[in-house]
Amino acid sequence: MRDIPVNTRPLDGPPPRIDGPEGATDCHIHVYIEGHAPQPGGPPIAELATPDDYVVVQRRLGLTRVVITQSNAYQFDNGATITGLKAIGAETARGVVVVGPDTTDAELAEYHTLGVRGARVMNLPGGAVGIDGMAEVEARIRGLGWHLMVQFDGREIERHRRALEAIRTDYIIDHTGKFLAPVPADDPRVDTLLRLIDRGNAWFKVAGLYETSRTGAPDFADVAPIARRVIAHAPERVIWGSNWPHVGVARENYPDDAVLLDNLAAMADEATRRRILIDNPATLYGFA
């Protein structure tokens, strides 16, 4: 008997309008795999979401490479992420794990060999490591050349600015800045975000617009302008992720992955999209 139901989310459908060129990368998915149980402190797992499930989504979108991000449900247990990496292979997959006080140097070395290139910092409910633990994590990963993937309520960016400025490795400002109540693109807090990017080690991930948008699909008109402003300002520092399998979203509001990819067409021209989907992820994640 399965403890967690198999996936019932829609995986296939009409392709996106824009082509996914060879080497195009989805920089943010999660996997939920049989035999890996949710951990105390994290959210429950409603359904499995396996590497085989994602292959269907990936094929539909015309993408080639993927970054598996440790789910909050698993907290400090990176087992499912590592299982997913092994299933897909380091030629086309990378990983972002959670690094805790009990993570050994030997584990970090093994993770690196398997394709891990980042550590997750989640300063929102359910996160395993918050910004208060970020400096300790950075010290552990710096020698490996990994980056930090940092998610927080963008409305609090000034509160976290000094901690972000102190980061010496590369780091990603996750989920389109994750302004939990959308703000205009010319908001002073977006100005702060751009200044952080201009320091040279911050990246910006366009992902999860549906999580914070009040106006909704297909345009996410209250959130997308922030992404457009960042892309226009620093296209060389932007990556994209689907955030599949969109956990925590009611089925009636479940986003269409093709629509999420097509949002880039309204944000960037073809040359810039290639940069976001291919060149920038190759630089950050070390894809050949």
Q: Starting from the edge strand earliest in sequence, which strands make up the sheet with 238-240, in order? A: 25-29, 65-69, 93-97, 116-122, 147-151, 171-173, 202-206, 238-240
Task: Kindly name the residue from 7, 78, 123, 243 that is annotated as catalytic.
Answer: 243
DSSP state of 32: B
| Catalytic-residue membership of 243 | yes
Residues with catalytic function? 243
